[in-house]
């Protein structure tokens, strides 16, 4: 298990980020998705990590700040392999690299962004969903077969009066656990789905040291 750095969230996840499953972190812009993904990386940095950045949101300076907050040596950054992915074809091709490198953790931030951009026309909607589901199926098999913990982030879009995860129907059948982040003003909360029984969530703040649980 890899800790998220948030004790309450780890508890809701059953101990943390587990191997052999895909954990999906989704929420609105500014809710801390990328920072949580990077924070998870700091807790696995003693072994090889692959971080695929499809949006340009990864900031090395921020990663160093998070590591410094945990008194981790800078040389451990050598274990973090950053791939700046700019096309769907590259994102798909990187699955083979993951299989060959046997990492201890894979992060894909953000999972659906390039698919939505390259297949933005309404006439390509079906092709987009089919292509994305094929990709997610391959990622899921890789994750299960090699028992690799995979963390993905995803955006939400407005549908009527609700925020809905992008490509929700195409992604949900392949993700095993979901961390839903919400933001209301300066208040942040995280909920793990599926949630059985009473709704449980934690509150957190975003600080220089990373995401910190709040009362």
**Structure tokens belonging to residue 149:** 């913990």
58 dihedral zone (left: phi>0; alpha: psi -120 to 50; beta) = beta
Angle between helices 125-146 and 88-101 (to 10 degrees): 10
Q: Is the pTM of this model over 0.85?
A: yes
Mind listing the pLDDT tens digit for each residue in 154-203? 999 877 778 899 999 899 999 989 999 999 988 999 999 976 655 689 99
- What is the chain's mean pLDDT, rounded? 93
182 dihedral zone (left: phi>0; alpha: psi -120 to 50; beta) = beta
Q: Domains of the chain, with CATH numbers? A: 7-214 (3.40.50.300)
Torsion angle, alpha carbons of 195, 156, 92, 106, to 10? -50
């Amino acid at each position: 298990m890899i800790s998220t750095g948030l004790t309450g969230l780890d508890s809701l996840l059953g101990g943390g980020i587990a191997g052999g499953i895909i954990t999906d972190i989704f929420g609105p812009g500014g809710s801390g998705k990328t920072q949580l993904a990077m924070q998870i990386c700091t807790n696995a940095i003693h072994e090889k990590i692959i971080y695929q950045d499809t949006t340009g949101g990864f900031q090395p300076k921020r990663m160093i700040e998070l590591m410094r907050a945990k008194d981790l040596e800078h040389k451990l950054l050598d274990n973090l392999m950053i791939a700046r992915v700019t096309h769907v074809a590259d994102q798909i091709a990187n699955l083979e690299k993951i299989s060959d490198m046997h990492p201890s953790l894979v992060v894909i931030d953000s999972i659906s962004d390039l698919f939505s951009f390259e297949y933005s026309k309404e006439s390509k909607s079906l092709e987009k969903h089919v292509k994305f589901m094929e990709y997610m199926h391959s990622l899921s098999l890789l994750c299960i077969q090699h028992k690799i913990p995979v963390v993905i982030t995803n955006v939400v879009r407005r549908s009527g009066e609700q925020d809905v995860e992008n490509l929700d129907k195409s992604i949900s059948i392949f993700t095993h656990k979901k961390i839903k982040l919400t933001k209301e003003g300066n208040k942040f909360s995280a909920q793990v789905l599926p949630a059985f029984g009473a709704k449980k969530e934690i509150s957190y703040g975003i600080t220089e040291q990373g995401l910190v649980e709040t009362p």
